[in-house]
Structure 1
């Protein structure tokens, strides 16, 4: 009997066992194939986030995310200390002075350029040169079909990665 003739029955048995296992395993795991669940019953998609502390645009995104979280949770006693610590860590001393001056003049938050808190934000690289990078931060203030948005250009030093300037985009 040739090797091929001896292997054929063995292959058939192995293939059959594999198919049987594939059919039984979902049932054993409690995930038998049924009709898809309605959209409302499906679990939400998992969001993944990653970062790189060397990337100034990512650092601006991290700053705005943490800052907005702290301002949003303003009733938490730690929120005020958190916003100050975030400013001290991410902003250069001249940028902190400029923000404080803007706040005194406008009676609003000089990081958000507003008196309230956005519901969403995003940060995107907008260019670089002369040792600095600019990140365009878009703040979304409402939900719905036509949400209100504002934009801020945030300049960062490429060496220190500190935010050196914030300007409202008109």
Structure 2
């Protein structure tokens, strides 16, 4: 019985210290801003899924062109195009850019603040995804959409078309 009497206060002190540390740790880490806080607690992907690949491409591409002051951003954007787009899609994008003097992946001269990708169907060896680009924050943000066609065998983007 004397052993229990001596260990109980020690257990209470250890438990109190652990709870105090758990309460103080977030404060010691500092408050995060909305921009630094992730939207979800985890992310995942599957390189075999063509819609996921379109999502990966647009996320990385937008990051690269958003950081235009970074000297590597132009090379990064080109490398992403070379990897994710088929040769015919790259030709089509380049022709569109020469004609319209804008980015042929985003179909715009600026960079969106948000984006999302949704699977919209498949058939005849291709899958279609719709990319929604959000250009501003607020109650009525400007939004544009792009339909992306991907080859199910190569998983490369084979066509990009802005929707009306």
Query: What is the count of residue pairs matched by the alignment?
Result: 149
Q: Which runs of 4+ in 1 moved over 4 A?
A: 23-26, 41-46
1:131 aligns with 2:125: yes
Measure, in 2, the Cα distance between the counterparts of 1:24 and 1:167: 65
**SS of match in other structure, 2:17:** helix
Displacement, 1:47? 2.9
**SS of match in other structure, 1:85:** helix
Displacement, 1:146? 1.0
TM-score, normalised with respect to structure 1: 0.78
Please identify the structure whose Cα radius of gyration is greater.
Answer: 1
Show structure 2 runs of 5+ residues with no match. none
Superposed, 1:156-167 pairs within 5 Å as 156-167=150-161
Displacement, 1:32? 7.2
The superposition leaves residues 95-131 of structure 1 with CA deviations (integer Å, 9 ceiling, x where unpaired) of 0000000001100000000000000100110100000
Q: For the Cα contact (< 8 Å) 1:118–1:140, is it kept in 2?
A: yes
Aligned Cα root-mean-square deviation (Å): 2.5
Match of 1:27 among 10, 16, 41: 16
TM-score, normalised with respect to structure 2: 0.81
Match of 2:65 among 56, 65, 71: 71
Show structure 1 runs of 5+ residues with no match. 1-12
